[in-house]
């Protein structure tokens, strides 16, 4: 039977790869890569560098173009569901046509497969099609959230307190807790938080040579973060960032 792994590869630093992930990479016959366009060439390059560094046997890299996605939908959930359906068809064809019986293939996921990543859901859709059978293995990775806390040298929670992990889209509805990690915020939604007693710990390209860290009072740092973020995105063509909002 085919074996398929979903491997968390960390937030961008090759040293963030776990021993478990390295052991899995060493056994791969096929690595599945999704081409997300020229603006994400750096991300594809890093995936290939990880493969070259850790896979010591001959392997094949199978690449497919990502499905188109409606970025300004009238219904966000409908647009994402449609996008996932298209991706599932691409994944099914890759696994069926490019991974032979008794071979081991893998999708490499930024951070950890459990946190704001669609790969697990899409692979579940592929399995439900029942057109190709495989044994699934999921290997956790180091998330941008963990890297953010480590680089700022902070704990995410206060004693006995909860941590809220949410998105920029949800943050627009209000700050949900005293310690809130925000991911997937392309609009600098932290600007909408008007409370005066909030600090921000922000990071972009975490763990890479291009890493940027800014922290301090949200009211004082928000304009600087927005400017730096815009400049970095223009320079690289893409940006991955996350931040912690903390009521003081």
Please answer whether residues 240 and 144 qualify as being in contact, where contact means their C-beta atoms are separated by less than 8 angstroms: yes
pLDDT band (50, 70, 90) for residue 48: confident
Question: Could you give the percent of the chain with pLDDT greater than 70?
Answer: 98
What mean pLDDT is predicted for residues 35-48?
74
pLDDT category of residue 241 using cuts at 50, 70 and 90: very high
CA 152 → CA 46, 137, 202, 206, 217, distances in Å?
24, 32, 9, 11, 14
| pLDDT at 153 exceeding the cut of 80 | yes
* pLDDT score of 35 more than 90: no
The confidence score (pLDDT) of residue 111 equals 94
More confident: 72 or 181? 181
Separation of alpha carbons 212 and 165, rounded Å = 21
Would the pLDDT of 207 be above 80?
yes
Please give the pLDDT value at position 34: 87
> Cα–Cα distance between 149 and 139 in angstroms, integer?
22
User: Does residue 132 carry a pLDDT above 90?
Assistant: yes
Mean pLDDT of 105-110: 96
- Residue 106 is predicted with a pLDDT of 97
Rounded to an integer, the average pLDDT of 66-86 is: 84
Q: How far is CA 161 from CA 176, 178, 198, 202, 246, in A?
A: 13, 8, 16, 21, 12
Residue 109 gets which letter from DSSP? Answer: E
Q: Which two tokens stand for residue 117?
A: 């990543």
pLDDT over threshold 80, residue 39: no
| This prediction's pTM | 0.91
CATH, domain range 2-139: 3.40.1010.10
d(CA 166, CA 173): 11
Q: What is 144-247's CATH topology? A: 3.30.950
Cβ(118)–Cβ(87) below 8 Å: yes
Pairing of strands 164-167, 198-204: unpaired
Domain boundaries, the chain: 2-139, 144-247
Please report the sign of the dihedral spanned by the C-alpha atoms of residue 211, residue 217, residue 220, residue 222. positive
Per-residue pLDDT, averaged over 199-211, amounts to: 95
């Amino acid at each position: 039977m085919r074996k398929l792994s979903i491997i968390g590869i960390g937030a961008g630093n090759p040293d963030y790869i776990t021993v478990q992930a390295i052991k899995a990479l060493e056994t791969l016959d096929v690595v599945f890569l999704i081409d997300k366009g020229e603006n994400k060439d750096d991300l594809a390059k890093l995936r290939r560098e990880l493969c070259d560094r850790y896979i010591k046997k001959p392997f094949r890299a199978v690449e497919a173009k990502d499905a188109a996605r409606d970025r300004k939908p009238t219904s966000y959930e409908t647009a994402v569901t449609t996008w996932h359906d298209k991706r599932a068809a691409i994944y099914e064809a890759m696994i069926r046509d490019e991974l032979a019986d008794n071979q081991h293939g893998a999708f490499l996921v930024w951070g950890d497969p459990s946190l704001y990543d669609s790969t697990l859901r899409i692979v579940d859709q592929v399995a439900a099609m029942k057109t190709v059978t495989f044994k699934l293995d999921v290997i956790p990775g180091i998330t941008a959230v963990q890297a953010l806390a480590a680089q700022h040298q902070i704990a995410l929670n206060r004693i006995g307190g909860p941590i809220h992990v949410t998105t920029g889209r949800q943050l627009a509805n209000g700050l949900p807790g005293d310690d809130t990690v925000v991911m997937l915020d392309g609009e600098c939604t932290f600007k909408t938080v008007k409370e005066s007693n909030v600090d921000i710990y922000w990071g972009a390209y975490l763990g890479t040579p291009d890493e940027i860290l800014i922290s301090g009072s949200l009211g004082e740092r928000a304009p600087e973060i927005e400017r730096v973020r815009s400049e970095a995105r223009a320079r690289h063509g893409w940006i991955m960032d996350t931040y912690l909002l903390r009521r003081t």
